[in-house]
Amino acid sequence: MKAMITGASSGIGEAIATNLHDLGYELIITGRRKERLDDLATRLGGDRVAAHTLDVTDTAAIHALVEEVGAVDILVNNAGGALGLASAQEAELSDWLTMIATNVTGLTVLTHALLPAMVERRSGIIINLGSVAGEYPYPGGNVYGAAKAFVRQFSLNLKADLAGTGVRITDIEPGMVGETEFSLVRFHNDTERASSVYDGMQALTPADIADLVRYIVTLPPHVNINTVSLMPVDQGFGAFNVTRHSS
């Protein structure tokens, strides 16, 4: 049994890869930083793990990898993240386009490449990493939230098409997950700003998400979990923002 995990070089992807390896899967771990993938392969003991450099924004590279590795039993579309927290009118266009290319286009191309073989074999599980940002807007979330809304709706529409095929599809939508590089990447390597995000609160951990994946993939084959939304106990929703006397 083979599982491909994108973005396995840190955070949630690394934890999911570790759990799937524990379950006995042969892994194809991908990401742009090969040395991090090689480290993980070594930590997992080297057997049943193939590390492949893959930038998910490179469609030709995705097709070449799929051609090389063939069908998989599990695809975890985890690679992604946020860039910046500026308001829409101040955000960098390059950040927006990178978020769309990674969170939306990369996930879509890889799914398109691997799905037909799953349907042909009448089995397979796709797990997408969405976010609570895909359902609940927040200031500065703009394109990141929109990209994760795509992940949510694409996952539900896949479920519609895949009914009766034996292929399962889940969108996991976490709130704040610490012990990842998510905030470091979002704040363009500003370590102080990144660590302050989790000050004084208990965030979810990558292991929490990986345990959820373990649960999902060990369910009987007739059970499909469509969407999972989860948050730290210390996180909640904001009130509606009302601007008064603005003119």
Ligand X SMILES: NC(=O)c1ccc[n+]([C@@H]2O[C@H](COP(=O)([O-])OP(=O)(O)OC[C@H]3O[C@@H](n4cnc5c(N)ncnc54)[C@H](OP(=O)(O)O)[C@@H]3O)[C@@H](O)[C@H]2O)c1
Positions marked catalytic: 144
Is there a contact between 1 and 27 (Cβ–Cβ < 8 Å)?
A: no
E strand or H helix at 13: helix 11-22
Determine, following the binding rule CB under 6 A, whether residue 180 of this chain makes contact with ligand X.
yes
Tally of residues, the chain: 247
Cβ closest to ligand X, residue 13 vs residue 124: 13
Select the span of 25-33, 65-73, 116-124, 213-221 touching ligand X (CB under 6 A).
Answer: 25-33
Nearest alpha carbon to residue 147 among 97, 188, 87? 97
Is there a contact between 169 and 159 (Cβ–Cβ < 8 Å)?
A: yes
Question: Encoding tokens for residue 78?
Answer: 């985890």
Determine, following the binding rule CB under 6 A, whether residue 56 of this chain makes contact with ligand X.
yes
Nearest alpha carbon to residue 179 among 13, 56, 5, 42? 13
**Residue 173 CB, nearest distance to ligand X (Å)?**
7
Contact pick of 6, 18, 142, 170 for ligand X (by CB under 6 A): 6
Select the span of 11-19, 40-48, 162-170, 216-224 touching ligand X (CB under 6 A).
Answer: 11-19
Determine, following the binding rule CB under 6 A, whether residue 39 of this chain makes contact with ligand X.
no
| CA–CA separation, 128 and 39 (whole Å) | 24
Determine, following the binding rule CB under 6 A, whether residue 109 of this chain makes contact with ligand X.
no
Cβ closest to ligand X, residue 32 vs residue 48: 32
Determine, following the binding rule CB under 6 A, whether residue 155 of this chain makes contact with ligand X.
no
Q: How many CB atoms lie within 10 A of CB 49?
A: 21
Residue numbers at the binding site for ligand X (CB under 6 A): 6-7, 9-13, 31-33, 36, 54-57, 78-81, 102, 129, 131, 174, 176-177, 180-182, 185
